[in-house]
Structure 1
């Protein structure tokens, strides 16, 4: 298969991916519920992910984070349970930036060797490797036992008598103890005490976090004075900047290919503008992906922060979700790309990730097939990357009550658990479809088909784009609220992509204006032979600015009609 430059990211929650324990109990320990390991990403498993169409794999939760599991036998300090969310803990409460999470190792004392093997195995299977970088906050009991010789720990040289000092790593509430509505008492370990209290990770600069806060984390200080509101103090370079650069270099040297930067917009853009070029000077191939939700900041983080890609959450994701659920119009898709047209190549599209509810959950679409048109749009609209979350291609429901993560339509990131669809696909390490039902097999085949089109069609990865909606509004041949159509073109190959968000098949007529023929240098053809890349079936259409393209779209489906022009 000839591949193109389209980036397709397969996100996996590492601790859940390979777990084969089906007798999980809500809030169960690692001994009761089991835990997936890095070794579960066998060459066979990775080849299956590659075969699906992925170019990159994002291993979520690899860095050592706070947990209620006891690893003191390996010299790893025990975390106080009252400041850990769930038995397994949040992968975004980092306890050691220089270490791999011990849960993920078959042999805890050899966890870094197992990580190095995972990097090597991933690359040997033709995939590039992305890991998390969590820059905004750390676990309350952060302490690095794996840091290289000569590296100072976070907070080690802080003056904690000062609420803000640009050279401190943390923000402090001097002379006040951590308190609030959280019960910091544990029968085994007593009361967790923090004096002076540190600011909480979601920008709480008082000592009283509540249950809705990121109370298990502390905010890192990048030289922005949130206390006295005196702005940024970036000269001399804040100490936190230097420590973060060391951490990024440490992992880059291990051969990874990208960082997904958690809550990047809570860290000053000036830091990114300083650190990313410095990392890329040595490792030019590494990509940086930002979790940013404020559209007003998008261009700042691209042009001044030097990020390669940003989440397209509040634009395309929210719009496609609304359309899929039946309370949004397909015309909204046009507004999405128009709002980011100048930076479109930098946007990362997705319909699922670890923060969002599963498509097949009762909180989203219930039926995963309803989101097929949305995925066609997400994957094929422009040249930019697309991401899917493990199990999305199998219709994983995410409707378990796993423990700290209740029944919320998400796959837990806090608990030890087994993901049903992945468990059956795993099939005791065989990684085949024998235990999947027919609908799961069909859904996976559809995802694979769409992703392979993205990989093999230059019109998707490199081609021009033309939105057809402005000439298809308020007509009787197409329902602009339920159908969406656009063109992609590269060289002499054109793709006419049409989707139907409706629950019934639709006989439609799509107008293609004269401007599209001029812009894409197409010649009208009254009998144009084309092939639907989704079904493999041949069709003959009338390609003319004077006559609509008439075809039937399946319910919750679409067509990608490919034809050549002279």
Structure 2
């Protein structure tokens, strides 16, 4: 697994973080990406060692409807701002992962428009999945019913070559790997035609697939990605705390143990697509969730704002993601003081993880279990190291972490 094994990602949705307009016209485009420069030391002080960025390429609205994957979105800036961010990250030892949307592009992508104009024999036609014989004329097939998102034709060599070209272009510009958006919607055979080619030129590149349901180990083996988003554990953590049913968490740990035998999942309790953990479970529940995430096996990512106790509810409507993709102030010093104790708790949890680096592929074992009380051991593979975690939901959520000598490593009631 190399460098990625001990990376802790700070995940940021740049368009939101930098305050760019999402659906409205940008009347004053500018170098908004520079705002991130003032937050890199904050990420390092948190304990992160990587920056996992949401989409930054030219797009129609929210970034996942791309119109040019070789150009920085004008709402964020351009090459100068990107190069400055890469240089600043490297200076601090921060890895960079970019969000690669290779399931689809925006319907206004120039190549889509050209393909539809020139017909099935045009040079751009093989790139996209278009029903050329549809009633009423050619009809692009779209992603999950969204007419603004046109699917690539993943069966063609042209699509393979296109994705390889995009990946290698930005790897050459200094990034360290790719988050593969909606990887679950693309055949594993496509990824096996892309990733090994990229790795032949960039052997240290790391690939994280977004997969929600299904056979995780089978997808990893079949696609050759390095890791997957562990949505099963995410759901079990927030749901167990919210419903006061820790049997669900224990069952998920059994599955998680089996995943760790073949790959190391990306663990998270928040991202740009889900309701904030503090809105789901309350502030105490959110901190308990963080303690669980950061003391089990996996490669953790922390969604910006969760380390400050931010709230936000995702809604099923146009603009329903905005609440969980907020703008941040220009500098950390402008954050409200009420989130500082949560930030400190995160720092201490990450410190525990750093001092016990074996946690990355550790397995869990149940010691005692009731609906609202769970004690489990997190054990190193191949050694006798372990920590014990107690989750107590009988009053307000509380987590305590102890080492093998019963010394307290982290206690939620301290914050």
The TM-score, its normalising length taken from structure 1, stands at 0.64
2:376 maps to 1:485: yes
Q: Distance in 1 between matches of 2:35 and 2:202?
A: 28
Mapping of residues 166-245 of structure 1, within 5 Å: 167=126, 169-174=128-133, 176-177=135-136, 196-202=138-144, 213-223=145-155, 238-245=157-164
Q: For structure 2, which runs of at least 5 residues remain unmatched after alignment?
A: none
Residues 1:360 and 2:278 are matched in the alignment: yes
Report 1:312-327 matches (<5 A). Answer: 312-313=230-231, 315-326=232-243
User: Structure 1 residues 318 and 220, CA, compared in 2 at 3 Å: closer, same or farther?
Assistant: same
CA distance, structure 1, for counterparts of residue 309 and residue 31 of structure 2: 20
Partner of 1:336: 252
For 1:197 and 1:52, how far apart are their aligned partners in 2? 48
Partner of 1:381: 296
Q: Write the distance in 1 (CA, Å) between the matches of 2:177 and 2:4.
A: 19
**1:214, CA displacement in angstroms?**
1.3
Residue 146 of structure 2 aligns to a residue whose secondary structure is: coil
Structure index of larger Rg: 1
Match of 2:391 in 1: 499
Question: What is the correspondence of 1:132-143 to structure 2 with a 5 Å cutoff?
Answer: 132-143=99-110
Picking from 102, 106, 129, the partner of 2:74 is: 102
Cα deviations by residue, 1:465-495 (Å, 9 ceiling, x for unpaired): 34124xx24xxxxx35433422334856532
Corresponding position of 2:181 = 262
Shift of 1:133: 0.7
Show the counterpart of 1:465.
363
Structure 1: stretches of 5+ with no match in the other structure: 67-88, 106-110, 145-151, 178-194, 203-212, 224-236, 413-417, 474-478, 511-521, 523-527, 536-552, 559-566
Deviates more, 1:485-494 or 1:350-359: 485-494
Matching residue of 2:55: 61
Provide the secondary structure at the position in 1 that maps to 2:163. helix
Does 1:50 find its partner at 2:44?
yes
Q: Decide whether the 8 Å contact of 1:61 with 1:132 is kept in 2.
A: yes
Taking a change above 3 Å as real, the CA distance of residues 282 and 102 of structure 1, as seen in their structure-2 partners, is same
Answer yes or no: is the 8 Å Cα contact 2:210–2:228 preserved in 1: yes
SS in 2 for 1:498: strand
How big is each residue's C-alpha offset from its partner over 1:391-449, in whole Å with a ceiling of 9 and x where there is no partner?
11111122599x9414x78424xxxxx53xx32xx4xx3x23x64233x1111111111
CA contact (8 A) 1:289 1:307 kept: yes
Whether contact under 8 Å (1:358, 1:410) holds in the other structure is no
Cα deviations across residues 64-117 of structure 1 (Å, max 9, x unaligned)?
111xxxxxxxxxxxxxxxxxxxxxx12110111111111001xxxxx1122122
Hey, what's the Cα distance between the residues in 1 that align with 2:11 and 2:102?
A: 19
Counterparts in 2 of 1:488 and 1:410: CA distance versus 1, 3 Å? farther
Distance 1:342 1:155 in 2: 45
Q: 1:373 to 1:486 in 2, by over 3 A?
A: farther
Aligned equivalent of 1:123, options 90, 95, 118: 90
Distance 1:484 1:176, change over 3 A: farther
Name the CA shift for 1:134/1:168 in 2 (closer, same or farther; >3 Å): closer
Q: 1-side partners of 2:139 and 2:4: how far apart?
A: 51
* TM-score after normalising by structure 2: 0.86
- Deviation digits for residues 95-147 of structure 1 (CA, Å, limit 9, x no counterpart): 11111111001xxxxx1122122111111111000101111111111126xxx
SS of corresponding position for 2:83: helix
After superposition, the C-alpha distances for 1:512-531 in whole angstroms (9 at most, x for unaligned) are: xxxxxxxxxx9xxxxx8543
Answer yes or no: is the 8 Å Cα contact 1:483–1:502 preserved in 2.
no
- Equivalent residue pairs, number: 407
Compute the displacement of 1:453 (Å). 1.5
Structure 2 equivalent of residue 370 of structure 1: 285
Q: CA deviation at 1:303?
A: 1.0
Partner of 1:300: 218
The answer to whether the 8 Å contact 1:18/1:35 transfers is no
Structure 1 residue 168: Cα displacement: 5.0
- Give distance in 2, aligned partners of 1:358 and 1:409: 12
1:268-307 map, 5 Å = 268-296=187-215, 298-307=216-225
Residue in structure 2 matched with residue 38 of structure 1 by the alignment? 33
Quote the Cα distance in structure 1 between the aligned partners of 2:134 and 2:388.
66
Match of 1:210? none
Measured in 1, the distance between the counterparts of 2:170 and 2:266 equals 23
Distance 1:143 1:247, change over 3 A: same
Residue number in structure 2 paired with 1:456: 355
Cα gap change, 1:489 to 1:154, in 2 (>3 Å): farther
The equivalences for 1:541-560 within 5 A come to 554=413
C-alpha change, 1:529 and 1:287, in structure 2 (3 Å) is: closer
CA contact (8 A) 1:200 1:218 kept: yes
Compute the displacement of 1:342 (Å): 3.5
SS of 2:347 mapped into structure 1: helix
